[in-house]
Structure 1
Amino acid sequence: MTIPVKQLSDPAVRDFVAALNANDQAALTEAMTPDVTMSDDGSERNVQEWLDREVFGSRGHMEVESESNGGLGLVANYRNDTWGEMRTKWLFTVGGGKIARFETGQA
């Protein structure tokens, strides 16, 4: 069972997931703070390089299975053309109504 993006609890997370799934780089940039940070499997990454490789260059897409922590924590099936599909966890930090940090990794 997946949660439709429009039903995600946190508006900033909802905007992030909707933009990622639409492969809309402008909307995803707008959903994040200018100084956004992130980690992947515990390693700090350059956000733009990661997005270019894992999302925009490989058609990344999230299907959210569950949320926690008021909608700031997600478990999702994430797929892209590079890695196929995997079960992932996401933790978001929101500042000023935008994503200030996200951490992802295999669930």
Structure 2
Amino acid sequence: MADLKYYDVILKPIVTEKSMNSMSEKKYTFAVHPEATKNQIKEAVEKMFAGTKVAKVNTMNLEGKTRRRGYQVGKTAKTKKAIVQLTEDSADIEIFSGL
């Protein structure tokens, strides 16, 4: 298990058409550290965004894509994505409100 602080867990928000549509159900999508656990992600969201309460966290491990540059073949880095469901009485996350 990684020794991660809460500010190292969430890397960036993911803004796509699908993630914007799920915001009406209080579901927010983030790119997270590949070794972060669900409990660490929950703690990070509740500490970083005041007034939020997390109901559940779904995570997805995304493998790196194979890329070629001439004869050489390599892979891009692995990533992890988390979909965070907030409770009904929770405050919204402000970074998504201006979009």
- What is the TM-score when the length of structure 1 is the normalising length? 0.28
Bigger share in strand: 1
- What is the TM-score when the length of structure 2 is the normalising length? 0.30
Which has more radius of gyration? Answer: 2
Bigger share in helix: 1
